[in-house]
Amino acid sequence: MKHKIYLLIGLLLSSFSILQAEDGSRLWLRQPQNAHAQVTANKQSPTIGLATRELQQAWQGAPVTLELKKDKQLDKDGFRIRHTSDGLTITSPDEIGLLYGTYHLLRLQALQSNDLKTDNEIIENPAYQLRILNHWDNMDRTIERGYAGKSLWNWDELPNTLSDRYEAYARANASIGINGTVLNNVNASPQILSAEYLQKVKALADVFRPYGIRVYLSVNFASPMVLDSLPTADPLDKEVIRWWKNKTKEIYKLIPDFGGFLVKANSEGQPGPCDFGRTHAEGANMLADALKPYKGIVMWRAFVYSPSDADRAKQAYLEFQPLDGQFRPNVIVQVKNGPVDFQPREPYSPLFGSMKHTSLMAEFQITQEYLGHSNHIAYLAPMWEEFFQFVPATSQKAIAGVSNIGTDANWCGHPFAQANWYAFGRLAWNPQLGSDEIADEWLKQTIYKEGVTDISPIHTDLKKMMLESREAVVDYMMPLGLHHLFAWGHHYGPEPWCKVPGARPDWLPSYYHKADAQGIGFDRSSTGSNAVAQYPDSLARLYNNLATCPEEYLLWFHHVPWRHTMKSGRTLWDELCRHYDAGVQQVKKFQKTWDKAEAFVDADCFKDVQSRLKIQARDAVWWKDACLLYFQQFSQMPIPYDIERPIHELDDLEKVQLGISNYECPSGELLNRNR
């Protein structure tokens, strides 16, 4: 009797947990945990223990052997999966490779992949050695450009209380191959290096370690002055050098596998070596020397632009390229994918390929600062795929993505925003995976509710929606190479007219669009700022010529007359109108697609996405009307008669104040606030 009651309670609890689990909190890791698979290993360790447990609970197939063994074809994190007479063997030279192999196998199972059915061996090695998330999390748990609640790191409770989410976070990252995390904002508080906080950092590092996740910290270059009242932070000063050496030693005593430092220096008001007449290389090298005995690295950001006359898009190159060859081997210069700042579309940063004697790494932004925050669907893999066409993974050993993770139950705010976290990990492992394949994987593992066996009526349409979503955002926000038309401060809505008395010109949209009676766009050709010259010759020639410049970058590189004839035969103005309208129509199509998905997805998730799509559709019209009505004042041309007419007055749009800050927009809070 007692047993029956326990069984009943057990069943109730497990069905409750299944119901609970449809809130997105299980991410792409939703496989049933009741498999009882037979698993053996030739060594025991915490990491191998995790791999064993994952397989025992979820693997439905033949017995698995985990084999730690050197293998010439495998890098440290790589693995081989092969069929043997006893079942399956996962081999890796390192424990973490066994865990990655385990997640790979379970992914193939979840996807019912044919790879499993054949006798083929699977061999996987990651393209980048370091696959790192950058959290822009502040110590008060706000997140700069975070749209999914608060920071996961509960500094007040650490180190004594460890949220379950810490391990769930590590597991999710390991499942897609991410192996590093920078815990705090690049606008770094010196406090993170205090003895008290290092204990907290250690507690997190201890949780992450078995999952192969190394912890890194963003550091404030003036830390020695703030924390210990040194009179200077000059990187050539003996006391400063000593301070950093001691601090580094203190960190490694607590965290022997600490990864290193990420530094934003002399950028947007952050302190740095230039404050003391030193170069970025001198600053980075001083930190690199402190880290070297422990094999730590410095990731030194190239996101710099001073209030000078030089075109902002040229500045990182102008400042960093001359330093090529001056950085220590354990410094990696971290460069945003584009030359300005994570816009919906940018050409790649010309720093890539131009610093032959320096390690570089790309920084992507997973959080959608400039792509509709967590209100808009914008699947970013196609954007990153575009980047890899210009900057192949073979040229670098590391890659970083600015995280979109917070305390929201589903981690990322918008249910589809998880796909960007997933895609970042998968592409960091293998940049050759197509956006299509990754969308396919993510959808199948994440979005369909339990019990749905036939997804064929909806799957292709949902995938299409994801694949087209980023281009839709480009169309309704900033087509044809337009960029930075965002409202002051929050980077959510349009404000191409924005004027802020006394503001730096390069913080205002008019600096970028340069609309006037003649035309629109930033002349970066040889007759303008000549930013084209920073690219390799063949590309420079292509971009420099109005006739050959790809239209998606046209207004990035040229100031183009309104009546210029585009490839379609239409005028630039008409083409611009059509792009804005196409973006709006696309989102309306997404609404229809999503409504058809109702029977296939969890009811709450359905409603959530449906309501966010309504916001996205309204925002798309807002963007279109704001930009077209504003630019029309210059073009003086009619909006083509066959496209939808504006439904707003420009005067009204100019009065819109969202009243949100740079720092925190918990998801859902943007819903038409003050509109």
CA distance 262 to 276: 20
Three-state secondary structure call for residue 446: helix
C-beta closer to ligand GCV: residue 371 or 480: 371
Q: How far is the CB of 365 from ligand GCV (least distance, A)?
A: 8
369 is catalytic: yes
How many beta carbons lie within 10 A of that of residue 62, not counting itself?
12
Do 584 and 624 meet the contact criterion of CB atoms below 8 Å apart? yes
CB-facing half-sphere around the CA of 432: CA atoms within 13 A: 5
What angle is formed at CA 655 by the lines to CA 653 and CA 657, rounded to 5 degrees? 100
For position 144 contacting ligand GCV by CB under 6 A, the verdict is yes
Residues 634-663 that bind ligand GCV (CB under 6 A): 662
Backbone region of residue 563 per phi and psi (left: phi > 0; alpha: psi in -120 to 50; beta: other values) = alpha
Rounded to a whole number of angstroms, the minimum distance from the CB of residue 267 to ligand GCV is 6
CB of 347 to ligand GCV, least distance (A): 18
Of 124, 234, 363, 369, catalytic: 369
507 versus 600: smaller Cβ distance to ligand GCV: 507
Residue 560, classed as helix, strand or coil, is: strand
Query: How far apart, in whole angstroms, are the C-alpha atoms of residue 665 and residue 260?
Result: 30
Segment 281 to 320, residues that bind ligand GCV, using CB under 6 A: 303
In whole angstroms, the minimum distance from the beta carbon of 395 to ligand GCV comes to 22
| Backbone dihedral angles phi then psi of residue 130, each to the nearest 5 degrees | -110, 120
β-pair type (331-336, 398-402): unpaired
Identity of the amino acid at 652:
D
Residue type, 512: Y
Nearer to ligand GCV, 182 or 201 (CB): 182
187 part of the interface to ligand GCV, by CB under 6 A: yes
At its nearest, how many Å lie between ligand GCV and the CB of residue 281? Answer: 19
* Binding flags for ligand GCV, 238-267, as an x/- string (CB under 6 A): --------------------------x---
Cβ proximity to ligand GCV, 344 vs 519, nearer residue: 344
How many CB atoms are closer than 10 A to CB 377?
Answer: 27
- For 110, other C-beta atoms within 10 Å of its C-beta total 17
Among 100, 136, 416, 486, binds ligand GCV (CB under 6 A): 136
Cα-Cα end-to-end distance for the chain: 61
Smallest separation (angstroms) from ligand GCV to the CB of 185: 6
Choosing from 64, 178, 186, 405, the residue that interacts with ligand GCV (CB under 6 A) is 186
Rounded Cα distance, 634 and 637, in Å:
8
| Contact between 137 and ligand GCV per CB under 6 A | no
23: nearest Cα among 603, 438, 670: 603
Question: Is residue 669 among the annotated active site residues?
Answer: no
What residues contact residue 269 under an 8 Å CB cut-off, 6+ apart? Answer: none
Choose the catalytic residue: 77, 94, 234, 341: 341
Q: Check if the beta carbon of residue 427 is closer than 8 Å to that of residue 384.
A: yes
Minimum distance between the CB of residue 463 and ligand GCV, rounded to whole angstroms?
Answer: 31
Nearer to ligand GCV, 89 or 185 (CB): 185
Sheet (strand 64-68) strand order: 39-41, 64-68, 87-92, 79-84, 122-124
CB-wise, 211 or 303, nearer to ligand GCV? 303
Three-state DSSP class for residue 382: helix
Catalytic residue status for 471: no
Residues 328-387 that bind ligand GCV (CB under 6 A): 341, 369
Size of the site for ligand GCV (CB under 6 A): 11
- Taking the least distance from each CB to ligand GCV, the nearer of 195 and 503 is 503
Q: Of 186 and 332, which CB lies nearer to ligand GCV in the complex structure? A: 186
Residue among 140, 268, 595, 652 flagged as catalytic: 268
Instruction: Give the span between the Cα atoms of 279 and 539, in whole angstroms.
Output: 30
CB of 270 to ligand GCV, least distance (A): 8
What residues make contact with ligand GCV under the rule CB under 6 A? Answer: 136, 144-145, 186-187, 264, 268, 303, 341, 369, 662
Q: Which residues are catalytic?
A: 268, 341, 369
